[in-house]
């Protein structure tokens, strides 16, 4: 990422956030942010220049509401949609992943930063 950051803005995104609980995701986000910011850790050659969005841009996108205004962003993405909402009048596209223990919603701010990044 260091070499890439010399040429283009780097926006760290963690995918498959639906594989973690909300608490695990928050811990993982913190660990990744620390690893990126700390050039003394193994595997990090030098400080990685991360692109930071303006605070008002994040607020307009609704990301500031989550209390995590800085990268990495955690994303849940799915090709599956909520059929009940999709067949409602008017239809609403709402991607989600269903598991025996619950549902991870791509556009739910508590589950994913996808809607704000979009």
pLDDT in tens, 63-115: 665 555 567 888 888 888 888 888 888 988 888 888 888 888 888 888 888 87
Give the percent of the chain with pLDDT over 70.
Answer: 87
Mean pLDDT taken over the chain = 80
- Name residue, tokens 């956030």: 17
- Quote the percentage of the chain above a pLDDT of 90: 0
pLDDT at 70: 65
The reported pLDDT for the residue numbered 33 is: 84
Instruction: Give the global pTM.
Output: 0.66
Q: Confidence band (pLDDT; 50, 70, 90) for 41?
A: low
**What's the rounded Cα separation, in Å, for the pair 44 and 9?**
17
């Amino acid at each position: 990422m260091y070499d890439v950051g010399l040429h283009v803005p780097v926006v760290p995104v963690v995918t498959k956030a639906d594989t973690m609980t909300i608490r695990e995701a928050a811990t993982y986000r913190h660990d990744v942010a620390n690893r990126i910011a700390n050039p003394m850790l193994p595997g990090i050659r030098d400080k990685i220049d991360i692109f930071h969005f303006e605070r008002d841009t994040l607020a307009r996108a609704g990301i500031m509401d989550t209390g995590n205004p800085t990268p990495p962003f955690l994303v849940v993405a799915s090709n599956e949609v909520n059929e009940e909402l999709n067949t409602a009048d008017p239809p609403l596209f709402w991607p989600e992943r269903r598991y025996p223990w619950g549902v991870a919603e791509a556009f739910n701010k508590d589950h994913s930063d996808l809607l704000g990044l979009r």
